[in-house]
Structure 1
Amino acid sequence: MKIEVKHTCENFNSFRSEKVKSLFNAESGHTWQHTAELPIEEEGWQIGLIVGASGSGKTSIGSQIWENGIVNLAEGWNSDLPIIEDIAPGSDMNTVTSALSAVGLGDVPAWLRPFKVLSNGEQFRAGLARLICEAPDKVVIDEFTSVVDRQIAKIGASAFSKAWRKTKGKQIVLLSCHYDIVEWLQPDWVYDTRTGEVKKKPQNDRLLNLTFGRSTEVTGSFLNRIII
């Protein structure tokens, strides 16, 4: 699947704008584009990962993969129910508790609170637990593991991967700015927005974080994206 993203805005010519263009050779600041080739239409995969720095186009790419766009894990919660009641009310309770544990939300007292009073990290994990229980056929999730500490992110990525693969054929694309989860998540393929390349999980082997080096030469077009 070929996805083309192009964003434009007014090409401002104010004093400061022109000064920045002159100092940093940033004449193209009013336009941004990226083309991605993703193996979405190939068969046999369940977990895909789009990874790259903030502002590198992950969300724009993810929103074009399927018609339902990017799923907001924070939507659709009942503020009058604890999450243990709100997640998959038609399912067996063991299914819900297993999903909560699988995403790293093992703090049992948190299960007795409504979604709205949970911390950002707890809300994200509760959303993932609900996602595992509902198991839609095709789904895209943004900011995967962005609001949890890195140790929980790694362990949670591994547990989520194992839980999602039990859905048998359901497909999910995760968007993340963190390369450290690759080795733990073990997705079927990874698209790196920095290089524009897809790397697939070798059969009977593992993807390693070291495969995705991030050393960047601080020259040329990279300077156009520096945030001070």
Structure 2
Amino acid sequence: MAASILIIGANGRMGQHLIYAAARETNKPTIHAFVRNPASLPPPVASVCDSVQRGNALEAEDVRAALVESSATHIIVAIGVPNSTARSTLRADSAKAITEAIERSEQPVKVVVVSSMGAGGTKIKFGFGIGSLTHFILRHVLDDHDHQEERFLSFFENDKDKLLIVRPTELTEGRAGAKVTLFDGDKRTPSMKVDRGDVATWIAGQVCRDGECFGRAVNITRA
């Protein structure tokens, strides 16, 4: 049976790449965008979706309603504040609402969380202290990612195979087409950057082709 994918944060750059990546999959999943304001989703992106669900990712009832309406088998969480390093609890608060929604819906669903390299105890390791400096600059963002991951890990503690956490290195735009690689987050980081489009393609493959990485937290970058 083809996947039914609810993409939370669909109007963001990663969310839009995920919509296009899912649409390219040969087994044709149904794609549902979840956004606060449907008008914020560019028409070419909306036209690829089977539905656009209106709702606030911080409201569990909104997410539950979208889950039921879309009959989602998978949720991809791509929430963030673009280009901001300020302190925020957006990811953690939305994780709380999303897990409450799943619990209320009693609907079996797998979840992919787009997190960040440097979260969950991983380290950004480059020479000349670049990794340490990057981690310091992103400390508030990574703290929010940490709490987001912790919420999902706790919720899926007894169903670990239903959760996939993806931690990309620094995301770039307009450079898609490269291979990606998974790597050990305790060792030297192979590449500092990876394109959103390439990460989205990898995630869509995991969702639509029963990928082997569910049940794990993986670190991903340009090969």
TM-score, normalising length: structure 1: 0.29
More strand by share: 2
Larger radius of gyration: 1
Determine which structure has greater relative contact order: mean sequence separation of CA pairs < 8 Å that are 6+ residues apart, divided by chain length: 1
TM-score, normalising length: structure 2: 0.29
